[in-house]
Amino acid sequence: MSRSAVLRRTPALHRAPGFPGGHPYDAGFLTGAAIAALLFLFVGQGGFPLGSRSVGRLHFYTAQAVALLHGHWDVPQKALNAECFMIHRTKCLGYFGITPALLRLPVALFLRQGAKFPHFLEPTYWVLGFSVMALGAWWISRQLVAAWAPAMGRRRRKLIGFVAAVSCLGATPLLYLIGRPLVYEEAILWAVAFSAVALGAVMSMWRRPRLSTLIVLLLADVLAVSARPTVGSSALFATVVLGWRLLALNRHAPAGESSSVRPVSCWRPRGSSRWDLGYRTPW
């Protein structure tokens, strides 16, 4: 039976959450994300020239990545200037998250220690950070719409996708970060980006636990906390809560049945104000 025939025969309220006709939400979100990206780049084209006046701090994470490949943590003092944490008055160490430097390791293979780094490298990683943030925001918002409004029309889905992208990516403090793209701000950017991916993975694990999603979740947690612990701890807390609830559901499941591996069908019966998650929880 074709997919269109299945959609015609399946009542709207009983369709699976991830089974909408076409991809109207994705189209709306992509349009909003494109507008937010243009605004992000517009602010960035003024922010990076301002950041270049910091005499070296713009390239700290690249210098740290090159240093890691050579087996040490310290960087040249010009990479941090007054922000240096000096050891024996000879070694300059930074106290920022390690995630941005780890992401630069593949590029650092082609760079020499003490050499002048290309100016396009830092803006490229900021664009990558924005892209990861957009991916996380899309993953979270799409699952929310699919779970709580499965019968929404195509036009509303597209509108909500557009609003979600603009509000999550355009009207946010991300614009402040790109306006002053230095070591503090990039660490926050990557922490927010990987936290968003981790929260999307938490929601996906709650609906349908899978090993691949678990790997993404744990990796995103580690990178978020390593970038900025005060920001990444939110995703880590959500992961702990998810694990606790899945263990509790398994403990209260009937004998011979594992509740943590059943996909969640979320729908609201007609005339009811309660949402049915497809199983009964002990609280």
Give pLDDT tens digits for 184-200. Answer: 888 899 999 999 999 99
Asked if residue 115 belongs to a domain, the reply is yes
Check pLDDT > 70 for residue 145: yes
Check pLDDT > 60 for residue 110: yes
Check pLDDT > 70 for residue 217: yes
Tell me if residue 267 falls in helix, strand or coil. strand
**Tokens standing for residue 13:** 């309220």
Instruction: Provide φ and ψ at 11, rounded to 5°.
Output: -60, 145
**Tokens standing for residue 113:** 């220690």
Asked if residue 164 belongs to a domain, the reply is yes
Q: Which of 60-64, 238-242, 269-273 has the highest mean pLDDT?
A: 238-242
Residue of 181 and 19 predicted with greater confidence: 181
- Check residue 50 and give its pLDDT: 60
Residue of 138 and 175 predicted with greater confidence: 138
Q: Report whether 170 contacts 69 (CB < 8 A).
A: no
pLDDT, tens only, 219-240: 999 999 999 999 989 888 999 9
Asked if residue 1 belongs to a domain, the reply is no
DSSP 3-state percent helix, strand, coil across the chain (nearest 5)? 65, 5, 30
Its domain, for residue 145, covers 21-252
Structural domains of the chain, count: 1
Asked if residue 197 belongs to a domain, the reply is yes
Check pLDDT > 50 for residue 60: yes
Q: Report whether 180 contacts 47 (CB < 8 A).
A: yes
Q: Report whether 136 contacts 200 (CB < 8 A).
A: yes
* 73 CA to centre of own chain: 27
Residue of 166 and 271 predicted with greater confidence: 166
- Check residue 18 and give its pLDDT: 43
Check pLDDT > 90 for residue 29: yes
- Check residue 262 and give its pLDDT: 47
Asked if residue 125 belongs to a domain, the reply is yes
CA separation for the pair 161, 158 (Å, rounded) = 5
- Check residue 73 and give its pLDDT: 80
CA proximity to 96, closest of 209, 240, 231: 231
Asked if residue 168 belongs to a domain, the reply is yes
Asked if residue 260 belongs to a domain, the reply is no
- Check residue 250 and give its pLDDT: 73
* Secondary structure letter of residue 276 according to DSSP: B
- Check residue 268 and give its pLDDT: 46
**Tokens standing for residue 238:** 């959500």
Check pLDDT > 50 for residue 160: yes
pTM exceeds 0.85, yes or no: no
* 231 CA to centre of own chain: 12
Asked if residue 145 belongs to a domain, the reply is yes
Residue % of the chain over a pLDDT of 70 = 76
pLDDT, tens only, 240-249: 998 888 888 7
Secondary element (H or E) of residue 89: none
